[in-house]
Amino acid sequence: MAKIGFGTYRISEHNPEHIQAIRVAVEEGVDLIDTSTNYMDGSAERAIALAFQPLPLNVIKDVEIVSKFGYIQGSMLQRVKEGAHFEEVVQYAEHIYHCISPSFLRDQLTLSLERLNMDSLGCYLIHNPEYFLLDAMNHDLDLDETLDRLFERIEKAFVALEEEVQNGRIESYGVSSNSFAKDAKDVEFLPYEDLLTIAKRAAVEAGSDKHHFTTIQLPINLLEETGLKCATWAHKNGLRVLANRPFNAQANDLMFRLASYEEPYDYYHHLNEVLEMTDDATLMSVHNLIAQLDDVKHKFGFVGEYEQFLHVQVLPHIKKVFSTIDPSVVTLLAEALDLYLQEYAKMVAFECTKMTKVQLKEKIKDCERTLQECALDFLQAQECIDYILVGMRKPSYVMNILGL
């Protein structure tokens, strides 16, 4: 049965609850933590180091850290724009560059080890190498020729990774790719069956006795089963499979959260309190904003969609209004708004649960338990999956997931 791994996609060193969640997970027996150089601009890796500080060596010695490289974002992107040079950088979008060159690999591994306060990683993954394909599609380049070039780049990276195994900085390596989970006819599909051949060639070129390509990572969940074909191939060939996005599923061009949430009973109390407090000419724009939020609480397709809307639209507007009113009023209103927005997020999650159950009723018709229980049951029943990576940002969530 697949084991639970700790995913750190949105983990930050600045949130004590995140650090405690990692610590609790390790103490409860979770033995694999998945992270990346670009998760929270390196903050996720620093959070792991902080979580490990008070733990005894006999507790953490068997915990494997899996990190990744490839993305150029945040402070790393600023370094590149200020003159840091790496070969074969792909500028996929304004704020997303990508690179898997050996020089970039070595640079990122050094930074990861420093942030993690470690001498070696259990496994180091190339992170979404298909960005090279996506960039080529944006420029209407020949797909077959681009694939050949991509595999040349991957082979160079594999040689460098074999050398890092020899240097003792990593124990093994692999590839994390969303494109592994695409249909073979999809233009974004990344053929994977040649990777073992490439790894064997890389080992010979690096002077290794055998290759150290051990791991693949890809999205698999109750609604996205295409990746099981790749996972089955990997399992048959002795590779380890890490399944990510167990609860965040894409289907019918929409994103669904595979989790059941209860209706928050305090929601309308906090809504009415805020509406009363803002029923004033100077606060009418906030009053109208809250009323509009209540009207559209059922229209978000995914909790993450609301969170983006909150940070891009709602909070900036509230902050602007706060700058024009009496500070004493701001203090009282801010507390009420904070409580309301916490309840609103729960209400959005509840509405999303209802929508998921309605729109995907055929897919989950045999699910008589919570959505998250059914999602985990599905993955744990797959013999080809070794680890299910779950983002667990609270100790209580860790215990809940391990309890399931």
Residues 237-287: tens digit of each pLDDT = 999 999 999 998 887 777 888 888 899 999 999 999 999 999 988 899 999
- The mean pLDDT of 358-366, rounded to a whole number, is 77
329 lies in some domain: yes
In a domain, 365, yes or no: no
Instruction: Provide the token pair at 359.
Output: 């729109």
Residue 168 forms part of a structural domain:
yes
Whole-angstrom Cα distance, residue 316 to residue 280?
A: 20
Alpha-carbon torsion (74, 75, 76, 77), positive or negative: positive
pTM: 0.87
* 254/272 same-domain check: no
CB atoms within 10 A of CB 280: 12
Share of the chain above pLDDT 90, in %: 72
Q: Are residues 85 and 48 in the same domain?
A: yes
Is 96 a residue whose pLDDT tops 90?
Answer: no
**335 and 387 co-located in one domain:** no
CA distance 271 to 274: 5
pLDDT at 252: 72
Of 163-177, 316-330, 349-363, the range with the highest mean pLDDT is 163-177
Residues 346-375 have a mean pLDDT of 85
Co-location of 313 and 175 in the same domain = no
Q: Which domain holds residue 324?
A: 267-359
My answer on whether 109 and 73 are in the same domain is: yes
pLDDT in tens, 185-240: 988 899 999 999 999 999 999 999 999 999 999 999 988 999 999 999 999 999 99
Determine contact, residues 130/177, Cβ cutoff 8 Å. yes
Helix locations, 168-226, DSSP H = 195-206
Q: What is the pLDDT of residue 134?
A: 79
Residue 61 lies in a domain: yes
Tens digit of pLDDT for each residue in 102-134?
999 999 999 999 999 999 999 999 999 998 887
Quick one: pLDDT band at residue 159, thresholds 50, 70, 90? very high
In the DSSP assignment, the letter for residue 98 is: E
Q: pLDDT tier at 395 (50, 70, 90 boundaries)?
A: very high
How many structural domains comprise the chain?
2
Two structure tokens written together for 272 = 């009415």
What is the distance between the alpha carbons of residues 152 and 146, in angstroms, rounded to a whole number?
A: 10
Whether residues 189 and 273 fall in one domain: no
